Structure 1
Amino acid sequence: MATYNTLGPTYARTRRPDPRIAARIRAALGDAADVVDVGAGTGSYEPPGTVLAVEPSRVMIDQRPPHSAPAVRAVAERLPVRDGAVDAAMAVLTVHHWTDLAAGVRELRRIARRRVVVLTWDQRVFRERWWLVRDYLPEAAAFDDARAVDVDRLADLLGGARQETVPVPYDCTDGFAAAYWRRPHAYLDPQVRAGISLLAQTGEEVNGPGLARLADDLATGRWHDRYGELLALDAADFGYRLLVADL
């Protein structure tokens, strides 16, 4: 994917798997003996039973750690995997990048014998609760409105998947969009923003004024006056959802 050939070089540094989220994904996969990871990126949440990673970007594949599962360059809509090849297929924070959601979901269901697990987010909750896009970067929120996947539609395409809320820990080690909700200074770091596709794709010209307001509010204490109650929370719901479909 051209997007991640451009945006992906920092992922191995800023997108380290969070063990609490990893535990949720592995619990959702259950006792699956073999797994294909679709839209795998650098392989952050792959369980030991992963037999193949599917990822379109060479930049992302090149950042996969040694001894990780073999990776093939391909897209979700056309998986180079035979029917019913594995117990489970997984897709972590990737479906919003697919060009044809329905086709990608059909492929997940085609290759998995028992279960499909997808981590994504509910844009309605995300927009309402994540203070950065709501109050500082409305242009970025509008960009996400256009690409976010409706979780109810996704659940239906998966054949009636159950939805599980995935709270974001205050010290989340995986630097996805809302990971720094209790560490606002992090969003002023260009390397952190480079690892968040939402901010990297909307760009500095669009986000600059909002980030300048954030910097000023942090310097003057206004941010703490407005959002100080967040500092008492260990985890919070910003719309991230785990969808689990039994086949």
Structure 2
Amino acid sequence: MARYDEIGVGYAQGRRTDPRWLTPVLEALGDASSVLDVGSGTGSYEPPGRRVVAVEPSAEMIRQRSPEAAPVVQAVAEALPFADATFDATLAVLTVHHWPGWREGLAELRRVASRRVVLAYDTAVHSDFWFVREYVPEVAALEASRPSAPEIADALDAVSVIELPVPWDFTDGVFPAYWRRPEAYLDPVVQRSCSALAQTAPEAVERGVTRLRDDLASGRWAAEHAELLDLPEWDAGFRLIVA
């Protein structure tokens, strides 16, 4: 069973396209007219106006795709069912850290297209996120097991690595999306849409959420993180890698 068949239920409720990330993704794809979106999930960042084919291993994620989404093939990144150089570009958005054989998957991206665009994140920066550091430190062990953006960039021989900061009102519920809206982490829907929390022991998450709820009620969180409250955006370690 694909991992997201278990943790992806309700995923589309919390994860929605934000144009402030879609725009640099489209720019990175350049003039590619055909794109293979690998690990596409519900298709949040599939580029409009191009010939797009999606690859997704999870039946649950495929079920949540909209009727307007690109045609999808159920397969894994490590064994793409396409001939060499079938596409102009491959796209992989926040998925490489889920691939058991991530280096093999990156080699497959290279095999089927001449341009690779990968959105990944620096796991060290994620592990230093206040929610991890102060409330659910168990997430750091999970992050340590995942490939980090610098490793992925090196493996792809990247020509550019672009920082994608997270706006304070970001609409795509990635794990650190609510860095300035901490009350969101009390919502079970938000928790389920973050794989870092969905894959951490429930008792650890519950303990951290309880502590956060108490700190919000007492004003302690706001007092200790006052420097975040006026920031329009924050670097959570997300990087757009182009090769």
Determine if the TM-score, normalized by the shorter chain, exceeds 0.5: yes
Once the two structures are TM-superposed, the CA of residue 30 in structure 1 deviates from its matched residue by 1.2
Once the two structures are TM-superposed, the CA of residue 27 in structure 1 deviates from its matched residue by 1.1
CA distance in structure 2 between the aligned counterparts of 1:193 and 1:107, rounded to whole angstroms: 32
In the alignment, is residue 22 of structure 1 matched against residue 22 of structure 2?
Answer: yes
CA distance in structure 2 between the aligned counterparts of 1:224 and 1:36, rounded to whole angstroms: 43
CA distance in structure 1 between the aligned counterparts of 2:51 and 2:197, rounded to whole angstroms: 30
Whether the aligned pair in 2 keeps the contact of 1:35 and 1:52 (CA below 8 Å) is: yes
The SS at the match of 2:54 is strand
- Paired residues for 1:23-102 under 5 Å: 23-48=23-48, 49-102=50-103
Q: Which amino acid aligns with 1:149?
A: P
Once the two structures are TM-superposed, the CA of residue 50 in structure 1 deviates from its matched residue by 4.3
Q: 1:38 to 1:233 in 2, by over 3 A?
A: same
The SS at the match of 1:51 is strand
Q: What residue is the counterpart of 1:144 in the other structure?
A: 143
Once the two structures are TM-superposed, the CA of residue 67 in structure 1 deviates from its matched residue by 2.1
Give per-residue Cα distances to partners, 1:191-244, cap 9 Å, x unaligned. 110000110111421211111110000000000000011110111101011110
TM-score computed with the length of structure 2 as normaliser: 0.96
CA distance in structure 1 between the aligned counterparts of 2:11 and 2:110, rounded to whole angstroms: 28
CA distance in structure 1 between the aligned counterparts of 2:3 and 2:93, rounded to whole angstroms: 17
Q: Which amino acid aligns with 1:5?
A: D
CA distance in structure 2 between the aligned counterparts of 1:182 and 1:50, rounded to whole angstroms: 37
CA distance in structure 2 between the aligned counterparts of 1:164 and 1:23, rounded to whole angstroms: 12
In the alignment, is residue 187 of structure 1 matched against residue 188 of structure 2?
Answer: no
Q: What residue is the counterpart of 1:124 in the other structure?
A: 124
CA distance in structure 1 between the aligned counterparts of 2:91 and 2:24, rounded to whole angstroms: 13
Whether the aligned pair in 1 keeps the contact of 2:158 and 2:241 (CA below 8 Å) is: no
Q: What residue is the counterpart of 2:165 in the other structure?
A: 167
CA distance in structure 1 between the aligned counterparts of 2:149 and 2:7, rounded to whole angstroms: 25
CA distance in structure 2 between the aligned counterparts of 1:167 and 1:98, rounded to whole angstroms: 24
CA distance in structure 2 between the aligned counterparts of 1:28 and 1:71, rounded to whole angstroms: 22
Give per-residue Cα distances to partners, 1:147-173, cap 9 Å, x unaligned. x21322211211234211110010111
Q: Which amino acid aligns with 1:233?
A: L
Contiguous gaps of at least 5 residues in structure 2:
none
Q: Which moved more, 1:202-211 or 1:88-97?
A: 202-211
Q: Which amino acid aligns with 2:121?
A: W
CA distance in structure 1 between the aligned counterparts of 2:7 and 2:207, rounded to whole angstroms: 21
The SS at the match of 1:232 is coil
Give per-residue Cα distances to partners, 1:22-49, cap 9 Å, x unaligned. 1111111111111000000000000021
Q: Which amino acid aligns with 1:84?
A: A
Q: Which amino acid aligns with 2:122?
A: D
Q: What residue is the counterpart of 2:108 in the other structure?
A: 107
CA distance in structure 1 between the aligned counterparts of 2:10 and 2:137, rounded to whole angstroms: 25
Whether the aligned pair in 2 keeps the contact of 1:94 and 1:120 (CA below 8 Å) is: yes
Q: What residue is the counterpart of 1:244 in the other structure?
A: 242
Whether the aligned pair in 1 keeps the contact of 2:36 and 2:55 (CA below 8 Å) is: yes
Q: Which amino acid aligns with 1:176?
A: V
Q: Which amino acid aligns with 2:211?
A: R
Once the two structures are TM-superposed, the CA of residue 103 in structure 1 deviates from its matched residue by 0.7
Q: Which moved more, 1:153-162 or 1:194-203?
A: 153-162
Give per-residue Cα distances to partners, 1:69-94, cap 9 Å, x unaligned. 10011000000111111110000000
Q: What residue is the counterpart of 2:222 in the other structure?
A: 224
Contiguous gaps of at least 5 residues in structure 1:
none
RMSD of aligned Cα (Å)? 1.1
Q: How many pairs are equivalent? A: 242
Whether the aligned pair in 1 keeps the contact of 2:35 and 2:53 (CA below 8 Å) is: yes
